[in-house]
Amino acid sequence: MVKVAILGASGGVGQPLSLLLKLSPYVSELALYDIRAAEGIGRDLSHINTNSNCVGYDKDSIESSLTNAQVVLIPAGVPRKPGLTRDDLFKMNAGIVKSLVTAVGNFAPNARILVISNPVNSLVPIAVETLKKMGKFKPGNVMGVTNLDLVRAETFLVDYLMLKDPKVGQEQDKTTMHKKVTVIGGHSGETIIPIITDKSLVFQLDRQYERFIHRVQFGGDEIVKAKQGAGSATLSMAFAGAKFAEEVLRSFHNEKPETESLSAFVYLPGLKNGKRAQQLVADNSIEYFSLPIVLQNGSIASIDTSILENLSPREEQLVDTAVKELHKNIQKGKSFILDSS
Ligand code: NAD
Ligand code: LMR
């Protein structure tokens, strides 16, 4: 059985994520850590009659929350307000993630680390470089959670098909669209690249295709605007994060993934990958990219780069635009660790 720790468990993402993982049959122990309120939230969830134990830890008890944890989710940090980009969160969240990952390196060095906090494109490099510096880095264990982009793509693809032709839209099932679409790249604006793998649907979308791409890329902004200063996506993120964590947990039991083409933002050089991914690294000095992953025993065993082999000219264009921004985001994260003593 698996102990899961959530760092930042009292937040807008952390609380519903904790609830969903308390409901998971794959979790035996759920440790909730935050600098505020986690003890109470843990006690609250501990009354739910699922078979896992749930304990909340106060700000001085991070070691106990992490000891023996095999999976650690990190949604700690400041969310966006209208007018802010994810990159604007860097100055607040970089230090938070660095200190939490240092604690994971010290107290749960074998844990799989799922980074939710933004900007994912820079904070995953911070996590990786922090662990490398500690001599604790295991390439398959660090994953940037980009699954909300896939969840959105599944939803919006059906919405736009419906708009184009209600007859075609009604034939689709939002819960199985991951068989027809995936999302690669990064997790911010134009670094988010939705790829419709069932090309007949691109044809069906017709002029809605560009609107679909734009909505997946900027879906986060839509929520920030609608929440009017009260934060960003929390409930849909908790759903996407719990789904992603469940796939990691299922792989401990050798269970087949439920989601086809589940992607994560990963450090490419450390993982088994295809020729096209190696070319991506070589041509653009890009060390990180979100791509479909193959999980084994909770870790990434390999990444599936086949998606990169069959891109349309429009998709190639999206990749070219994404790598330029990603390059800056990644460097910013790396420098934060490498330039500090
Ligand atoms: P929030 O402000 O509601 O919650 C953040 C929580 O982090 C708070 O409870 C706070 O006390 C805690 N925290 C701060 N510093 C901490 C530390 N050092 N140790 C432990 N806990 C700490 O914010 P939110 O809406 O839950 O969003 C959290 C983060 O998740 C943001 O950075 C947001 O941008 C990001 N996010 C990412 C995605 C994604 O797709 N990857 C989606 C939604 C939100
Ligand atoms: C999202 O995509 O909803 C999150 O990254 C939060 C945000 O800042 O938009």
Task: Tell me the per-residue pLDDT of 16-25, one tens digit each, with 9 for 90 and over.
Answer: 999 999 999 9
Residue 295 or 310, more confident: 295
Q: What is the pLDDT of residue 19?
A: 98
65 close to ligand 1 (CB < 6 Angstrom): no
**Which among 224, 225, 234 is the best mutation to test ligand 2's pocket, defined by most ligand atoms within 8 Å of the CB?**
224
The mean per-residue pLDDT over the stretch 181-187 comes to 97
Instruction: Identify whether residues 302 and 222 lie together within a single domain.
Output: yes
Q: What is the 3-state secondary structure (H, E, C) of 111-168?
A: CEEEECCCCHHHHHHHHHHHHHHHCCCCHHHEEECCHHHHHHHHHHHHHHHHHHCHHH
Q: Is 141 annotated as a binding residue?
A: no
Q: What is the pLDDT of residue 127?
A: 98
The binding-site residues of ligand 2, defined as CB within 6 angstroms of any ligand atom, are 80, 86, 118, 148, 220, 223-224, 232-233
**Which among 59, 117, 121, 224 is the best mutation to test ligand 1's pocket, defined by most ligand atoms within 8 Å of the CB?**
117
Q: Is 143 annotated as a binding residue?
A: no
149 close to ligand 1 (CB < 6 Angstrom): no
Asked which of 115, 144, 173 is the last residue of a domain, the reply is 144
The structural domain count of the chain equals 2
The mean per-residue pLDDT over the stretch 245-257 comes to 96
Asked which of 91, 124, 144 is the last residue of a domain, the reply is 144
Asked which of 116, 144, 172 is the last residue of a domain, the reply is 144
Nearest ligand atom owner, CA of 58: 1
Return the structure tokens found at 88.
Answer: 């604007």
The mean per-residue pLDDT over the stretch 190-219 comes to 96
Instruction: Identify whether residues 103 and 215 lie together within a single domain.
Output: no
Residue 216 binned pLDDT confidence (cut-offs 50, 70, 90):
very high
CATH code of residue 307:
3.90.110.10
Is residue 32 within 8 A of residue 44, CB to CB? The reply is no
Task: List beta partners, residue 249.
Answer: none
Q: What is the pLDDT of residue 183?
A: 98
Q: What's the gap in Å between 14 CA and the centre of ligand 1?
A: 7
**ipTM for this prediction:** 0.99
Instruction: Identify whether residues 158 and 95 lie together within a single domain.
Output: no
Q: Is 302 annotated as a binding residue?
A: no
Report the catalytic residues: 187
Q: What is the pLDDT of residue 153?
A: 98
Domain of residue 38, residue span: 2-144
Position 273 pLDDT exceeds 80: no
Instruction: Identify whether residues 196 and 126 lie together within a single domain.
Output: no
Instruction: Identify whether residues 127 and 73 lie together within a single domain.
Output: yes
Q: What is the pLDDT of residues 60-119, one digit of tens each?
A: 999 999 999 999 999 999 999 999 999 999 999 999 999 999 999 999 999 999 999 999
The mean per-residue pLDDT over the stretch 173-190 comes to 96
The mean per-residue pLDDT over the stretch 187-195 comes to 98
Q: Is 116 annotated as a binding residue?
A: yes
Nearest ligand atom owner, CA of 97: 1
237 close to ligand 1 (CB < 6 Angstrom): yes
Instruction: Identify whether residues 322 and 261 lie together within a single domain.
Output: yes
CATH code of residue 105:
3.40.50.720
Furthest C-alpha separation in the chain: 61
Instruction: Identify whether residues 72 and 210 lie together within a single domain.
Output: no
Q: What's the gap in Å between 280 CA and the centre of ligand 2?
A: 26
Q: Which of 23-32, 112-121, 272-281, 317-326 has the lowest mean pLDDT?
A: 272-281
Is residue 43 within 8 A of residue 56, CB to CB? The reply is yes
**Nearest protein Cα to ligand 1, atom 25:** 12
The kind and range of the H/E element at 204 are: helix 199-205
Is residue 289 within 8 A of residue 280, CB to CB? The reply is yes
